[in-house]
Amino acid sequence: MEDNVLNNGQLSESEKAPDEKQTGKKDDKSQLIDSSLPNLQSKEKLLHILHIILFIFIPVLVVLFMITFVLYFVPVLQEIKSGPKTEISNDPLLKKDAGYNKQIGVLVKDIQRLKRKYNTYSTGLSYIVINTTDNKFFLYKNKKLIREGSCSTGSYKKLLTAEGRSWTFKTPRGKFTIQGKRTNPAWHKPDWAFIEEGVPVPPKDSPLRWEAGVLGDYAMDLGDSYMIHGTIYKRFLGMPVTHGCVRLNDEDLEVVFNTLNIGSKVYIY
């Protein structure tokens, strides 16, 4: 340490008189040590900071490693083992075996029977498919798509009153049938139609409940007051804005009305 300090350009003292050298040597040394102290202290400080950084970073790295190991590495490891794989064969000798042919025969018969049964579900008659997420309809006749276009379905609004009554305006999903067909239908307004506009609700048999011209030229009943009908709000077609019914434009409505019969299936998803 001393040598280092001496080598750091402090040797000019050697030119002093020998007696002076004797007495001044000790002072020089302490002076040199004193002058190098700040240097040492700064190094120590640096080491201390390094220690702190390591003290923080190493546990963080360990924790990160553990998390990565548990979250990503273990699931990969789990997928390595999968159990014995079937050795798929195609032995021509086996195909001549009576037992094998009997098994295949049974399977083929089962498949044919199941296919026949499955085909009975898909109707050859006309039906309509309604997509409530994208507000689109698809009309089929003899299993072929004959028309598609935009429609409007339920708005997903939940109307609440201060008295605690509520209605959710969404189009029901599933399989429905056309239960009735009407031309120039008039709308019998339910309670929510008045409540929604802040208008007093008239009695059930009030003529105020009837409104003509808002459902278009045709309406097809699906049950539970849900209908496929026309609209005067054509700019909303393709959007979820209705109270649960399916709205079509005039041209599409006419084709749908003429294609579907009472009993025709309506698939809503």
Contacts (CB under 8 A) with other proteins, residues 179-238: 195-199, 235-236, 238
Q: Does the protein bind other proteins through residue 160 (CB under 8 A)?
A: yes
Q: Does the protein bind other proteins through residue 21 (CB under 8 A)?
A: no
54-61: Cβ within 8 A, 24+ apart:
none
> Of 24-32, 108-116, 208-216, 246-254, which segment contacts other proteins by CB under 8 A?
108-116
Q: Which of 81, 96, 144, 204 binds other proteins (CB under 8 A)?
A: 81
CA distance 97 to 177: 51
For residues 156-173, one letter each, b for 16 or more C-beta atoms within 10 angstroms of the residue's C-beta and e for the rest, the string is: eeeeeeeeeeebebbbee
Helices (H), 122-217: 191-195
Nearer to other proteins by C-beta: 32 or 132?
132
| 8 Å CB contact between 6 and 32 | yes
Q: Which of 156, 180, 206, 250 binds other proteins (CB under 8 A)?
A: 156
Q: Does the protein bind other proteins through residue 239 (CB under 8 A)?
A: yes
> Of 32-40, 91-99, 214-222, 244-252, which segment contacts other proteins by CB under 8 A?
91-99
Which residues on adjacent β-strands are paired with residue 129?
138, 267
CA distance 157 to 230: 21
149 CA to centre of own chain: 25
Q: Does the protein bind other proteins through residue 89 (CB under 8 A)?
A: yes
Q: Which of 49, 70, 208, 262 binds other proteins (CB under 8 A)?
A: 70
Q: Does the protein bind other proteins through residue 162 (CB under 8 A)?
A: yes
Nearest CA-CA partner of 32 in 24, 44, 23: 24
Residues listed for the chain: 269
Q: Which of residues 121-140 bind other proteins (CB under 8 A)?
A: 121-123, 127, 129, 131-134
Q: Which of residues 163-182 bind other proteins (CB under 8 A)?
A: 168, 170, 173-175
Nearer to other proteins by C-beta: 78 or 183?
78
